[in-house]
Amino acid sequence: MSGYFELRRNDRGQFSFVLKAGNHEVILTSEVYESRAAAENGIASVQKNSPDAARYERLSAKDGRPYFTLKAANHQVIGISQMYQSEAARDGGIDSVMRNGSTATVKDLTAA
Mean pLDDT of 12-35: 96
Largest CA distance in the chain: 38
Closest CA to 101 of 87, 85, 86, 81: 81
Q: How far apart (Å, rounded) are the C-alpha atoms in residues 84 and 93?
A: 9
Confidence at residue 50, expressed as pLDDT on a 0 to 100 scale: 97
Residue 46: DSSP 8-state: H
Residue 36: beta bridge partners?
none
Q: For the chain, what percent of residues have pLDDT higher than 70?
A: 98
CA 69-75-11 angle, 5° bins: 60
Q: What is the pTM of this model?
A: 0.93
Confidence at residue 52, expressed as pLDDT on a 0 to 100 scale: 96
* Tens of pLDDT, residues 31-66: 999 999 999 999 999 999 999 999 999 999 999 999
